[in-house]
A = this chain, B = another copy of it.
Amino acid sequence: MKTFNIGLVGCGFMGKTHTFGYKTIPLYYENLPFKINLKTVCASGKESAKNAAERMGYENYTDNFDDIINDESIDIVDICTPNYLHADEIFSAVKAKKHIYCDKPLVSKLADAEKIADLEKNYEKCTQITFQNRFFPATMLAKKMIDEGKIGKILTFEAKFLHSGSIDKNKPIGWKQDGEKGGGGVIVDLGSHVIDLMRYLLGNYADIFCKTKILYPERPDKDGNTVKIAAEDEAHALVTMKNGANGVMTISKISTGTNDELSFEIYGDKGALRFNLMDANYLYYFDNTQKEDVFGGERGFKQIECVQRFDAPGGLFPSSKSSIGWLRGHVHCLYNFLNCVYENKKCTPNFSDGAYVNYIMDLMYKSAKDGKTVFCK
């Protein structure tokens, strides 16, 4: 049986999340035709790399990414570093002909995104970006229903990603609020998910008007210094899709009381869909082809019990009826990648999909800066 040797770079939150996937995939999926071996983890310092290897169960550790790149036994390079480092790591991994799994966003600069999308065209190994929100049963069902025509012509929609982490002005900022390292603010951190998910469900964007807000111009950093803030805390965008639907997007880390509230509402002439990540067990569906009738007839939003009803070979563990949690989307996203690697087929979402998100984010910043509607190619 084929064993995939994994080389992971970056062992913060996302490194752990991906590792969680590697460890649990053999339980979540029945009769896997491949094995997974956690070969090497790379961190910025020797000590943290060593700790990560021990805690997460990697055979080797290093603080030199080249040790992964140059290890011919490593099949898969998994990139979980801060956004601004992705581009160079991808370029190296491509040179070394590795399969590459990269956390979102693809890169922090559009030029790099375009270069990578270009490289990917003739690349013979698998490349995938972790837009894990595509990989919940509820969101996959949304896609399936739209593709089957059950929602009909899309009339209007909204999509939101609401967090509350940037309300406290005294909380020291992390790298995601550092416009340089993050490549932007909430548009990059949260908006990238929204942009991708709506594109996955509704297709490409036609035009965008975007407005951003920096709540406090200065905040403390972790050393207690006051620093100027360049990363937006909130963005609103009015968009029109190529399919003609208008929609509104809200991306915010200043939405008091929210936890991890990615949600969408999609209204079509045959049906409507609603989803909220904090209620990820369900997709809400309204069938507009049912006739109005006395007392309400049978019209209404149905809370479809998506729960853990993954398609085979997933969905059997734990019970398909058990409530689902956030990590499970990541696991299925990763499974999708590994399965593509095993079957030697192109992944979706791939780096071009990631580059498209970089493109739209760039337009959003442009619109916000100029105060004007921008038009997409």
Contacts and interface: CB of A to CB of B under 8 A. Distances in A.
A27 B32 contact: no
A130 B255 CA distance: 31
B211 A246 contact: yes
A27 B56 contact: yes
A118 B23 CA distance: 39
A264 interface: no
A224 interface: no
Nearest to A166: B155
A271 B256 CA distance: 6
Copies of this chain present in the complex amount to 4
A203 interface: no
B327 A322 contact: yes
A120 interface: no
A220 interface: no
Interface in A151-166: 155-156, 158, 163-164
Contacts of A26: 55-57
A16 interface: yes
B302 A302 contact: yes
B288 A272 contact: no
Contacts of A298: 285, 302, 304
User: Taking chain A's interface residues, is the majority helix, strand, or loop, or is none over half, making it mixed?
Assistant: mixed
Contacts of A304: 296-300
Interface string A260-272: 1000010111011
Interface in A286-343: 286, 288, 292, 294-311, 315, 317-319, 321-328
Contacts of A209: 209, 211, 238
B155 A256 contact: yes
Contact of A23 (B16, B27, B328): B27
Question: What interface size band does chain A fall in?
Answer: 35 or more
Contacts of A61: none
Contacts of A119: none
Report which residue of A141, A260, A282, A308 has the largest number of chain B beta carbons within 10 angstroms of its beta carbon.
Answer: A260
Given A278-B281, A318-B327, A326-B323, A155 B215 contact: yes
A311 B323 contact: no
A73 interface: no
A78 interface: no
A32 B16 CA distance: 15
A266 to B, nearest CB: 9
Contacts of A57: 26
B319 A294 contact: no
B322 A260 contact: yes
Given A26-B55, A236-B248, A325-B327, 10 more contacts: A23-B24, A138-B295, A141-B296, A156-B252, A163-B321, A257-B272, A259-B323, A294-B311, A300-B303, A300-B305
18 contacts: A24-B24, A26-B56, A141-B296, A156-B234, A156-B255, A236-B246, A248-B248, A248-B250, A256-B271, A256-B288, A280-B323, A283-B295, A295-B309, A296-B304, A299-B304, A302-B303, A322-B325, A372-B372
